Structure 1
Amino acid sequence: MKNLTLNNGIEVPIIGSGTNTYGKEGNQFAGDLRGDTQEIDWAIDSGYRHFDSAQLYGNEEVVGNGLKKSSLPREEFFITTKLNTFEGYVSADWAHAEIEKSLEKLQTDSIDLFLIHKPWDNHAEMLEAWRILEDYYNRGVFKSIGVSNFEKEHLDLLLENGNIPPAVNQIKSQVGHWNEELIAYNRSKGIASVAWSPLRGIDEKAKQVLDEIGKPYGKTFAQVVLRYQIERDVIVIPKSHHKDRQAQCLQIFDFELTASDRDRIAAL
């Protein structure tokens, strides 16, 4: 596994596992929890140590239970979760209460990376939320802090008014929408880019091109896409409900794309 060093010196595995449908009936986002941790168990067995969760997903306890019952110590894992701001921001008391719920559900005293999940149209509230994250960071409860789905204007707000720069910006970056400009801006500010759902957006035409690229290396279209991302130092968090496919996503460190390969992928 390759690690990427964040702007505060913390190392994060460059591949993590998405979790938003894990432990749910029918593998559906809105499904009820099944009461098991099967996908987390498989991922740990395959070698995943980085798990991406969120309050919005409604299943942080699945991640917490799966990691807790493994034979590995807590320090082996890198856990990310996010403050649910999809319906905006309520208050400082609300934010503190939601953070404490996440710590309880994840069964941990610290979170490796805590994000604001989505920006909203109130700069004063966003700064208040960021200062709350900074406080948890300064107390060592959060090992690193960052944001998700932020554009340049939102990043500038925190960079100009906060005390701690975001360590990461988790964004859409996938076939058909590589988001080069925002990734370049993140990089210019020392902010790592994380691609959520990196294997979405692949239609049959793109899949054919990716399969052609992967054939000489003995790699699948999915492995080619993930390799392209990590060669750009973009952290990826693929997700699968199939044990073999989970494992395949980790098997991308034994080949390198050529400049021609990268140009073809960038054009998709």
Structure 2
Amino acid sequence: MASPPNPAVPSISLNDGNSVPAIGLGVWQTPAGDTERAVSAALDAGYRHVDTAAAYGNETEVGLALAGAASSGITRDDVFVVTKLWNSEQGYDKTLRAFDESLDKLGVDYLDLYLVHWPMPMVNAYVDTFRAFAHLRERGRVRSIGVSNFESEHLKILIDETGIVPAVNQIELHPLLPQAELRELHATLGIATEAWSPLGQGSLLEQATVVGIAEAHGKTPAQVLIRWHVQLGNIVIPKSVNPARIASNFDVFDFELSEQDMTSIASLEDGTRLGPDPRTFNFTG
């Protein structure tokens, strides 16, 4: 029997009246063969938010896990499901076709959140793409629409051209790259901040400051980093295929980081970007 959702998990309110559980399972770089088991383990542990993307090649397996969860009493409406449009499919008509393909693979009839994966400024099709997103929302096929990896100038153009403020911007965000300026803009505009690579792709799990804080709280370094995101108000999507770690990453609501802990973690900032630069990334393969 699956665990019920953890009542301590906060929900982040979105600017369209919807809300999203603050912690979800990310499946970036999770092999398709491991994805169904990982998502099933997360749902058993109480997660009710799963984040995938067309480019990850595992939407089908996420869908299989969602279908399998029905035997434990977890319905489609219980889980906040997110996927992303890949770069090669930007443009109004291509977006609509790609959306249908993602829904077919996921085996669902609507999405909770659909994201433009990258702005692709050299292609410059994200405005038309987002207009297609708005059309899908108007038809009730997706509840919330947002973006991923958008910088301030991309957000400005998108909002000016469409009149729609994205519900979410999912960006690389961890203590090495805390994105304070972009988070401040999000707060001003009413955009929820979501963090990918929240643990610095594992690079921070052995960092002395993080390890010391974890030891002081009797927690793991990963739990400390996830708690840091939660206390900043970020949506966070740690990934793992290990059921014990998946459960551990969700168990962050019985302690609180002190102001000094938060300051110490903030001091790790050095501007390191582990993923591509959104201003120059134009890969469509």
What TM-score does the superposition give when structure 1 sets the normalisation length? 0.91
Q: Is the 8 A contact 1:176 1:201 kept in 2?
A: no
Pair 1:59 & 2:58 matched: yes
Question: Is residue 93–residue 132 contact of structure 2 (8 Å, CA) maintained in 1?
Answer: no
- Write out aligned runs for 1:83-102 (5 A): 83-85=85-87, 87=88, 89=90, 91-102=91-102
Distance change in 2, residues 1:230/1:35 (3 Å): closer
Could you tell me how far 1:164 is from its partner in structure 2? 2.2
1:204-253 deviations in Å (ceiling 9; x for gaps)? 79622112112232111111111111111101000011111101111111
> Take 2:181 and 2:68, find their aligned partners in 1: how far apart are those partners?
41
For the residue of structure 2 that corresponds to 1:181, the secondary structure is: helix
Paired with 2:138 and 2:189, the residues of 1 have a C-alpha distance of: 21
Which protein has greater RCO, CA pairs closer than 8 Å, 6+ apart? 2
CA distance in 1, matches of 2:157, 2:93: 22
Note if 1:18 corresponds to 2:26. Answer: yes
Question: Aligned in 2, Cα 1:36/1:188: closer, same or farther, shift over 3 Å?
Answer: closer
What is the CA–CA distance in structure 2 between the aligned matches of 1:47 and 1:11, rounded to whole Å? 17
Matches within 5 A, 1:6-85: 6-22=14-30, 24=31, 33-34=32-33, 37-71=36-70, 72-85=74-87
Gaps of 5+ in 1: 25-32
Which residue matches 2:272? none
Q: How does 1:147-158 map to 2 (within 5 A)?
A: 147-158=147-158
Q: In the alignment, residue 136 of structure 1 is paired with which amino acid?
A: L
Q: CA deviation at 1:21?
A: 3.3
- Does the 8 Å CA contact 1:51/1:80 hold for their aligned counterparts? yes
Correspondence list, 1:1-268, <5 A: 1-22=9-30, 24=31, 33-34=32-33, 37-71=36-70, 72-85=74-87, 87=88, 89=90, 91-121=91-121, 125-200=125-200, 203=203, 207-268=207-268
Distance 1:151 1:105, change over 3 A: same
Q: Percent identity?
A: 37
- Relative to 1, partners in 2 of residues 1:184 and 1:136: Cα closer, same or farther, differing over 3 Å? same
For residues 81-134 of structure 1, what are the alpha-carbon distances to aligned partners after superposition, in whole Å with 9 as ceiling and x for unaligned? 01101x473x43321111100111111111000000000225862211110000
TM-score (norm 2): 0.86
Q: Post-superposition shift, 1:203? A: 4.2
Pairwise CA RMSD: 1.8
CA shift for structure 1 position 80: 0.6
Letter in 1 for 2:119: P
